[in-house]
Amino acid sequence: MHRQLSIAVERWPIAGSFTIARGSKTEAVVVVATIAEGPHAGRGECVPYPRYGETPETVAAAIETVRTLVEAGGSREDLRAAMAAGAARNALDCALVDLEAKAGGTTAAAVFGMGGLEPLVTAYTLSLGTPEAMRAAAEAARDRPLLKIKLGGAGDVERLRAVRAGAPESRIIVDANEGWSVDGWGAMMEACLEARVDLVEQPFPADADGVLADLPHPVPVCADESAHTAADIPRLAALYEAVNIKLDKAGGLTEAMRMAKAADDAGLAIMAGCMVATSLAMAPALILAQTARFVDLDGPLLLARDRSPGLRYDGSTVFPPDPALWG
């Protein structure tokens, strides 16, 4: 049966703004691929990642290049051979998983040999800001069990102390987004220990993270921008204690699950991460997140509005998707 591929660029407003070390944004721009076959249709959502030179236009164009392959019945493995890892392949891969589940009368979890999905507790992200602003944000989120705070340079010790003061009981993940220096490592590690931080994400630029081999890690360190596919895991295992697996980097759930197995085999803890996006992007990641030590799938919580139907969040607990959304 012939398939039909459609591509849409959508804009979803963020509640306020979202700020990391590389800049701020006020909306999430996503690309959605829909693959229809007979009465069934599968969808996948991706977020073009400027850090890797992706834009909505380049991602949509990349999806277009494999239209013939997809519409002729190409598989997820065919896509993996034809496309590089990245947002474009993610949208298509997730759409094919969704289509396979719907056409087969099963679930996306079953496609990967899994049973029912369990609700999970996700981190809640606090944007980079002044210590005063971050303390206020932490106070507003102090009932959430796990906070992820964006840092990235001068003033980070003060920001971290302010967040801990605002949310004295929450567990904390620190995300530096490649913004720290080797010279400041000792001071930041001391501050992280003082603040009882569970994990530090990507302190140094991806092309300069080899220094981690020679630095003490009193707090576990997690690769993010350095981690893309399963092929990266052997190098990362010598430098980090954990890896943040994001479907947009891996190029889909299929590669993300391979990556998770490789990470587990290498003794790395797994974080299931996300970009700021709607529930359609989070739903596939919930499959990956079932065995993750850290879950960071709060994208819809940062939006002014989500798609309907969306995932159900009860505080920081996120529940498995309804098949009408995905999977």
Of 52, 32, 29, 49, nearest in space to 41 by CA: 32
Instruction: State the Cα–Cα distance between residues 138 and 123, nearest whole angstrom.
Output: 13
Strands of the chain, DSSP E: 3-20, 23-37, 40-46, 120-121, 124-126, 146-150, 171-175, 197-201, 221-223, 242-245, 269-272, 294-295, 313-314, 317-318
Q: Which residues are catalytic?
A: 150, 246
In this structure, what token pair is assigned to residue 225? Answer: 């921008």
In this structure, what token pair is assigned to residue 157? Answer: 């010790």
Of 313, 327, 315, nearest in space to 110 by CA: 327
Residue with tokens 């102090």: 142
Do 98 and 257 meet the contact criterion of CB atoms below 8 Å apart? no
What are residue 304's phi and psi, to 5 degrees?
Answer: -70, -30
Sheet holding 124-126, edge to edge: 124-126, 146-150, 171-175, 197-201, 221-223, 242-245, 269-272, 294-295
Instruction: State the Cα–Cα distance between residues 288 and 256, nearest whole angstrom.
Output: 7
Strands of 21-102, DSSP E: 23-37, 40-46
C-alpha 81, offset from chain centre: 23
Strands 23-37 and 40-46: antiparallel
Instruction: State the Cα–Cα distance between residues 177 and 183, nearest whole angstrom.
Output: 17
Of 40, 161, 164, 47, nearest in space to 103 by CA: 40
Measured in Å, how far apart are the chain's first and last C-alpha atoms? 21
